[in-house]
Amino acid sequence: MDTLQNAYDPEAFRALGYRVVDALADYLERARRGEGPVLPWTAPKDQAERFPADFPAKPAGGFEHLLKETLEHSTNLHHPHFVGHQVAAPLPLAALCDFAAAFLNNGMAVYEMGPAATAMEQAVVKWMCGRLGFPAGAGGILTSGGSPGNLTALLAARQVKAGFDAWEAGASGGPQLCALVSGEAHYCVKRAAQMMGWGKDGAWPVPVDAHFRMKADALPQAFAQAVAAGRKPIAVVANACSTSTGSFDPLEEIAAFCAERGLWLHADAAHGAPAILSPQYRGLLRGIERADSVVWDAHKMMLMPALATAVLFRDERNAYHAFAQHASYLFAEKKPEAEAHNLGTRTLECTKRMIGFKLYAALSVFGTDFFGAYVTRSFDLAKRFAETLKAAPDFELALEPEANIVCFRYAPKVAGADGRAFGAPTPEALDALQARIRRSVNERGTFYLVQTRLPAGLFLRAALMNPFITDAGLGELLDALRAAARTP
Ligand SMILES: Cc1ncc(COP(=O)(O)O)c(C=O)c1O
């Protein structure tokens, strides 16, 4: 057999596949026991030396060694001490689906290139729309991430609300447009506005309250200011919830303003949408059923491997406005709505992964309550962690968490010789302390957490995504930070 045929040998694949799964199962077992570093910190330069570009000309084998190295030098999201960015510790079942999907490699732009995955995608989307409280006639698509998801929704908003054919004429074909957005929006929203040619003021700022929620009562003034600056506001982008602090914008009030002014309401619920599945926390999303579009990331709070984003429209017909283009070599019908099963008319991607498979599988196998319970657990844990922080004399909670994102800082009282507290460190020293202890804990590999800048200074930020984090583990996090502070 020649090398090409060998590379597809079913028996070799079977044998290697078993060994790969064994290695991953061992990895998961060790992670669940809390073994090994969370982040095996290595400087980028040293890492580059570990993975050099000196590829052999002839087959050399060695995949299992490479897998071992990859596991050893990757950030361990299944580790109970992973409290870093909002990325799920993937369900093993969902990871297996991704593996199978990669193998099948059905492209999804047209039904013929992914018949089963198209049906599963449409089922998952229908279920999500139903859970959000959207009416019959709602629909949407799955895409590769919240960033393209928000862009897709805003492209549709532009086409529906601009008052001119912005798709055909471009950004200069009518008045300068903008969306009203709080400064707490994920950076991809501003980026989407700039990609659409709206310039830096395309995301027109709306102030937030002390809890980093959009001030709905400031919308009329922001609208008037945008108009006075020669802009035509077409949409409001609400956070549900915000990335930095996990704050939910008041959707009902924002929806009322949008209805009054004829604006499109887009809810970036990349992180928070699954709260709708939790009887305890679904109230945070009150009003989301009035949004024109919603972005829902299943790779955040639904335990899916990246990427799995839904862009959902209250009126499915609007989904076709995002990319009002026709590619005759792909799509047979003139009217894309006539072929809803050809998903590529509504997504940025042409070839797309079989995103719906893993979600459909997990929903079918574990049931829908499983996900609501996960949200409830994670949000409850954050509330208890906040109580611990408030009770600790040497930590400061930035704000009461609404979701499972907790911002806090280490702020020990400095005691004078007589034992009385005197003065606080300067703001610069306090910021430097947070950065130092975060780096120290991360580099030791005991925990992985991130940081965020708030008006009061630099704060540590823990996203409690991992299903194995416990109250005791969070207590250990505080001890690790204290220890790092004591060690210069
Ligand atoms: C609210 C919000 N929107 C959008 C995004 C971007 O999503 P993605 O990383 O899937 O592109 C994030 C990521 O953290 C987010 O928190």
Q: Find out whether the beta carbon of 184 lies less than 6 Å from any atom of ligand 1.
A: no
pLDDT tens for each residue of 268-325: 999 999 999 999 999 999 999 999 999 999 999 999 999 999 999 999 999 999 998 7
**CA 250 and chain centroid, separation:** 20
pLDDT at 160 over 70: yes
pLDDT at res. 417: 54
CATH number, domain 371-486, options 3.90.1150.170, 3.40.50.10140, 2.60.40.1930, 3.40.50.300: 3.90.1150.170
Backbone angles phi, psi at 89, to 5 degrees: -80, 105
pLDDT at 86 over 60: yes
Q: How confident is the model over 416-420, as a mean pLDDT?
A: 52
Sequential DSSP letters for 345-357: GGSS-SS---HHH
Ligand 1 atom closest to Cα of residue 147:
11
pLDDT at res. 329: 67
Residue with tokens 């008052």: 163
Q: Are 342 and 331 in contact (CB under 8 A)?
A: yes
How far is the C-alpha of 134 from the C-alpha of 459, rounded, in Å? 37
pLDDT at res. 422: 52
User: What is the CA(145)–ligand 1 centre distance, in A?
Assistant: 7
pLDDT at 416 over 60: no
Q: How confident is the model over 259-266, as a mean pLDDT?
A: 98
How far is the C-alpha of 172 from the C-alpha of 162, rounded, in Å? 11
pLDDT at 455 over 80: yes
Q: Whose CA is nearest to atom 16 of ligand 1?
A: 243
User: What is the CA(251)–ligand 1 centre distance, in A?
Assistant: 19
pLDDT at 67 over 70: yes
Q: Find out whether the beta carbon of 243 lies less than 6 Å from any atom of ligand 1.
A: yes
Q: Find out whether the beta carbon of 297 lies less than 6 Å from any atom of ligand 1.
A: yes
315: Cβ–Cβ under 8 A, 6 or more apart, which residues? Answer: 137, 138, 292
pLDDT at res. 1: 59
Q: How confident is the model over 463-478, as a mean pLDDT?
A: 98
Q: How confident is the model over 110-119, as a mean pLDDT?
A: 96
Q: Find out whether the beta carbon of 249 lies less than 6 Å from any atom of ligand 1.
A: no
How far is the C-alpha of 57 from the C-alpha of 154, rounded, in Å? 47
Residue with tokens 């008041």: 250
pLDDT at res. 334: 65
Q: Whose CA is nearest to atom 5 of ligand 1?
A: 146
pLDDT at res. 338: 76
Collapsed DSSP state (helix, strand, coil) of residue 396: strand
Q: 440 pLDDT band (50/70/90 cuts)?
A: very high
Q: Which of 151, 182, 188, 241 to mutate to test the pocket of ligand 1 (most atoms within 8 A of CB)?
A: 188
State the Cα torsion 48-49-55-59 to the nearest 10°.
-110
131-140, 282-291, 332-341, 386-395: segment of lowest average pLDDT:
332-341
Ligand 1 atom closest to Cα of residue 299:
10
pLDDT at 425 over 90: no
pLDDT at 483 over 60: yes
pLDDT at res. 333: 65
User: What is the CA(266)–ligand 1 centre distance, in A?
Assistant: 14
User: What is the CA(7)–ligand 1 centre distance, in A?
Assistant: 37
Q: 328 pLDDT band (50/70/90 cuts)?
A: low
Mean pLDDT of the chain: 95
User: What is the CA(146)–ligand 1 centre distance, in A?
Assistant: 5
User: What is the CA(403)–ligand 1 centre distance, in A?
Assistant: 15
How far is the C-alpha of 330 from the C-alpha of 308, rounded, in Å? 24
The domain limits of the chain are 106-366, 371-486
Q: 339 pLDDT band (50/70/90 cuts)?
A: confident
Ligand 1 atom closest to Cα of residue 272:
1
Q: How confident is the model over 222-231, as a mean pLDDT?
A: 98
Q: Find out whether the beta carbon of 122 lies less than 6 Å from any atom of ligand 1.
A: no
Q: Find out whether the beta carbon of 188 lies less than 6 Å from any atom of ligand 1.
A: yes
User: What is the CA(16)–ligand 1 centre distance, in A?
Assistant: 35
How far is the C-alpha of 116 from the C-alpha of 459, rounded, in Å? 46
107, burial (CB in 10 Å: exposed 0-12, middle 13-18, buried 19+): middle
Q: Find out whether the beta carbon of 270 lies less than 6 Å from any atom of ligand 1.
A: yes
Domain 106-366 has CATH 3.40.50.970: no
How far is the C-alpha of 365 from the C-alpha of 363, rounded, in Å? 6
Ligand 1 atom closest to Cα of residue 297:
10
The amino acid occupying position 22 is: D
Q: 54 pLDDT band (50/70/90 cuts)?
A: very high
Ligand 1 atom closest to Cα of residue 149:
11
Q: Are 291 and 255 in contact (CB under 8 A)?
A: yes
Question: Does the pTM exceed 0.75?
Answer: yes
Q: Whose CA is nearest to atom 8 of ligand 1?
A: 146
Q: Find out whether the beta carbon of 84 lies less than 6 Å from any atom of ligand 1.
A: no
**CA 151 and chain centroid, separation:** 14
User: What is the CA(300)–ligand 1 centre distance, in A?
Assistant: 9
pLDDT at 330 over 80: no
User: What is the CA(186)–ligand 1 centre distance, in A?
Assistant: 6
Q: How confident is the model over 109-132, as a mean pLDDT?
A: 97
245: Cβ–Cβ under 8 A, 6 or more apart, which residues? Answer: 184, 211, 212, 398, 399, 401, 405, 407, 452, 454
% of the chain surpassing 70 pLDDT: 95
pLDDT at res. 331: 67
pLDDT at 326 over 70: no
% of the chain surpassing 90 pLDDT: 93
pLDDT at 196 over 90: yes
Q: How confident is the model over 176-189, as a mean pLDDT?
A: 98
325: Cβ–Cβ under 8 A, 6 or more apart, which residues? Answer: 167
